[in-house]
Structure 1
Amino acid sequence: MSASTSELRLIVIQMQISYHKGTNLTLAADLIKQAVSSPDAMVADIVNGQRTSRSDLFSNTLIVLPEFFNSPYDFGKIAENAEHIPGPTTDAIGKIADLFGIYVIAGSIPEVDGKLIYNTCVVFDPNGKIVAKHRKMHMFDADLPGGRYCESDVFASGSSFTTFQAGEWKVGLGVCHDVRFPEMATAYALQGCHMIVYPSAFEMVTGKAHWKLALQARALDNQIYVVGAAPARHDASAYPVWGHSALIGPWADVIAEADEKESILRQVLDLDAVRNARQQIPLAKQRRTDCYRNINQ
């Protein structure tokens, strides 16, 4: 049976990242295959690379990978692992998207463009074509009990909002630290987005204190689905991450949440949840832009 056109099959992959790019790409492909596996007879043909037609099984399916899914979050390795887009990583993920006929938000990768490096999220449509590219806008510069971080020493900042369409769904993109800025999320909501996806890799201190809270706050503010896709924790890593990928509903409810281990979250979402939340409390109509339009002055 075909999925409702207002439904979206969301799959969030929380994978453990190694120092070997080839291993990470193989793992990402394997977990995507695992995530969409089914007794449906067509799956065997797809996994063997023999797809001859598209199936309703994968209709309007969106896979989300974590921030820096192809390489470690290690400032000493960023330049070494940076790629052009398109490049080896995007070529590999594009083939997977085309093979299964699914949308893929490929977390983020270090992107080299001239002399600059960006933390970039790339989106593929069910034909494996790149349909969106978001460069992280806000750099994580922080002095915390667990260490000092200064992303602005390594990365250039993006300066554009990025959206794409998946069927009836309009989706906005942010990367990690972008989630802390409510103005960005509100801009997406005002542009008509039904969901914002944040591939992220919060570290242990801010992860425990702020991760889920920030995701819920952006959902609450904007009556929107919010997805946080994180890597799995590796305690021996130089940068242990919090993990805990999560899906938040437009009522700010936690629909699904992982722990710190490698895992896959699956959920069928419906646009009616967004419509209902906005009808019950019509925040968009109640905004007093006449009072705070000059907030930055």
Structure 2
Amino acid sequence: MTAPAAGPVIAGAPGPGALTLGRWAAETLGVRLLVAVVHPAPAALGSGRVDAEWVADRHRAAERILDEARKALEGADADYRAVASSSAAHGLHDLAEETGASLIVVGSGRDGPRERLYPGSTADRLLAGSVCPVAVAPAELATPPGTLGVIGVAYVDTPDGRAALAEAAKMAGRTGARLRLYTVVAQGDASLPFLIGQDAERAFLETARETYERSLEAAAASVPQCDTDWRIVPGDVVDTLAELDEVDVLFCGSRGYGPARRVLLGGVSARLIRRARRPVIVVPRSG
């Protein structure tokens, strides 16, 4: 394995899904895995001894969680760290900036269906401004990543889409997995205003499909190091992408505006991470 070219993969708020995905991502990218548990820091206006005792108790609880992670990851090349912060998301943000993290992996929220993504408040806050890609994993991965041999990309020809493609190509190139690009187009008159006319609508959809085909062909050609194919799928974009079960992970961009090099969820990615069957990796724009 080549020497690490970037910072670690951080598995935060670890559960079985996050640990499994984090370990696979770290091994795939050739970087170390850093398992982190964030616990409360002393309050600036705390109540003295009571506050200190409570913080110490939370620190011990974090260490117990890390011990459980060590057992689950026996044999993994990993570091473990308890981080004190005002919130889990803030602590993971700071840790990512400190270490130059390649990826942050978090698990789904406790209230979510076991086989679906449903990020809790930590994931929601983390996704609103991370400096590196963020992966959200189901609580339990019925099919471990790396089993299916396909890395998916929700692709549109925008800076966000190209950033997602670049990150997905790195992972596909290292695993030898097929890289598959998906563009979802609306069906029927969902694309056009009411009463536009069926002939005009059909002509519009045919022109749109030709445009998508050209952009997908160009995108596939831009990553010659990967075995790449693409698909244009009719339907609702969130519903269609959420139901994909043929990919190890699905990469998507964050949004078309906002600060560069930060994850800021747009409408599609925000809904997708709550409903997708497979792990989703949200990628910030590169610049």
- Whose helix fraction is larger, Structure 1's or Structure 2's? 2
- TM-score when normalising by structure 1: 0.28
Q: Which TM-score applies when normalising by structure 2?
A: 0.28
Relative to total residues, which structure has the larger strand share, 1 or 2? 1
